Each structure stands twice: as structure tokens, then as C-alpha cells.
Amino acid sequence: MASNRKRKTERCVTSPDVMKSAVSAVINQKRSAKAVASEFGIKLTTRRRYVKKYLDSESKEQVGYFPKYNARQVFSAEMETQLAEYFLVAAKHNYGHSPAMARKLAYEYALQNKITMPYSWFRDCSAGEEWLGAFLKRHKNLSIRTPEATSLARLTAFNQHNVKQFFTNLDLVYTRNNYGPQSIYNCDETGLTTVQRPSKVIAGKGLKKVASATSQERGQLVTACCTINAIGNSIPPFMVFPRVHFKQHMLFGAPTGVDGTAHPSGWMICHARCSKESPVLLLWIIMRAT
């Protein structure tokens, strides 16, 4: 039977206060065990177990009048906290653990600390999926996420020295040219596919293949460069098509002012009215802090 079985009835669920009163009635008031169990709605064996627990305890004030559901718990609360903190640190350093890796690490952690484990852990050399699910429920700050593929060059370039140097140069440019908010633009690019993903359709039940007509099965990416300045004014997007020669009909149906090219590079400062008397600072964000 699974250890996370959901209770279907409220039978044999007694609050700690009621259990404490029942134990006190048996020990202090010398009442009959059956009478107390019947009065408080507690099973006789349950009442007997808690009375024995009270009599065997050296500190009567620290007796817990609630069932120990974590009797099969592998790690202590402190060890689970260490595991959770390690997963967070590894993810921040862009080397997060997959669910399979996390389960294997939990097994190795328990093995090195000589902790009693279920037989299935030894058999599979890994913790169970059920343990990982319960572990994530106990630690709400953890979840299974899909990471973004990031190259090692990008990871190593985004460091304290480079970021500090960037802002030092940026402050120098600000001071030298005295830019205003209307002259500070932020530019970023995004990819647009020429074949959109079809939406769900109603079809016959049991069909092995359901198709939807599109222009192509595999489209190409068109780069769209979007720019906005510090006071909220935007420049029409600039499209970069994966073609050798640019044709004007490629912009058919595009918003007013949109321009494009078939080459990887292209200028779009014509809308910003840049001149020697009114220079423009264009910030192209190539790194993002995670």
C-alpha cells in the first residue's frame, strides 16, 4: 500500500487535546478504560497505547498526543533542508538537477550517512518517485522547471567584472554626451516563425492521425527587432528575413512604418532623427540576469 494514501473516512481521527483529556481521565481520575474510550470516542487499543506512552515518558510535559506519521521518513528535517538548499544553489549556478539526478543524489546522501532506506532504494540505486513528490510538497520553494539552454561562453561572460565594466562605460558615455530620456533607446530581438502551430480541432475519436493544412511543415525564423525609448516612444519593428535578396512584397500586411532587409545587419535609426546635434544612445541587451 502506498504511504501517501488519501483518507476516505474521518474514523479514528482524534485531536491531541481530546487524547490528552482521555489519558488524564484514566491516570488522574482512575476511571475505567472502557468507559473513557467510549466517552471520548477512542478505540481501546489506541487509548492504551497513549497511556503507556505517558507512563514510560520521563518528561510528562513533552508527551505528544498525536500519531507519528513520519515513522518511515528517511531523512531528518535538517537533512532535507540541506538537500533543498543544495538544489537551489545548483540551479542558481546553472547546473540544476533533473528529477532522476535528484533521486540518485538522495540515495547517495543516505548511503554515505548510513541511514536506513527502503529496499527499493538499494535495488534501483535511487530514491523513489514517491519520495521526490513528497519532498517537493514539503518544500514549497522547489518545483520542477524547464531550463533555458545557455552556452558556456555566455555563462562565463556574465560575471561581476564584465557587468561592472559595462556600467562604467555606460556612465562615461552618459557623462560625455549628456543624453536625455528621449534619446535613450532599448532594442531587443525576437524570433517569428513563418508556420504557426495549428490549434486544436474537433475530429473523430480513435483516429491515429489528425492533420491541419499549413503553408509548410517546417517554417523559417524571421528576426523582428523592436525598439523603445525611456519615455515610452517606440520605433516600428525592423524585420530581418533569411533571404539573399530582399523583396518589398515580404512586408505585405505589416504595420505602418515597418522596414526590413535580407541581411543579418541593418539600421533602423532613421525613425529616431539622430544627428550630430542630437545623438541617440541605442542599448542592445545581449545578456539577461537569471
What's the longest Cα–Cα distance across the chain? 100
- Average pLDDT value over all residues in the chain: 79
Q: Using CA of residue 63, residue 65, residue 70, residue 71, what is the dihedral sign? A: positive
Q: How far is CA 212 from the centre of its chain?
A: 33
Among the candidates 29, 47, 67, a domain finishes at 67
Residues 225 and 275 in one domain: yes
Q: What is the pLDDT of residues 183-203, one digit of tens each?
A: 888 888 887 777 777 777 777
Asked if residue 222 lies in contact with residue 192, where contact means CB atoms within 8 angstroms, the answer is yes
Is there a single domain that holds both residue 29 and residue 120? Answer: no
Q: What is the pLDDT of residue 229?
A: 87
Q: Tell me, yes or no, whether 96 and 48 share the same domain.
A: no
Report the relative pairing of strands 234-240 and 221-229 from DSSP bridges: antiparallel
* 119 and 76 fall within a common domain: yes
* The one-letter amino acid at 180: G
Q: Using one digit for the tens of pLDDT, what is the confidence trace for 104-145?
A: 999 999 999 999 889 999 999 999 998 999 899 999 999 998
Q: Which domain holds residue 111?
A: 72-138
Q: Are residues 184 and 269 in the same domain?
A: yes
Residue 270 covered by a domain: yes
Say if 151 falls within a structural domain.
no
Is the domain of 52 the same as that of 86? no
As a whole-number percent, the residues of the chain with pLDDT over 90 amount to 21
Sign of the alpha-carbon dihedral angle for 95, 88, 79, 132: negative
**208 is a domain residue:** no
In a domain, 157, yes or no: no
- Number of domains, the chain: 3
Domain presence at residue 146:
no
* Cell matching residue 5: 494514501
User: The CATH number of the domain where 32 resides is what?
Assistant: 1.10.10
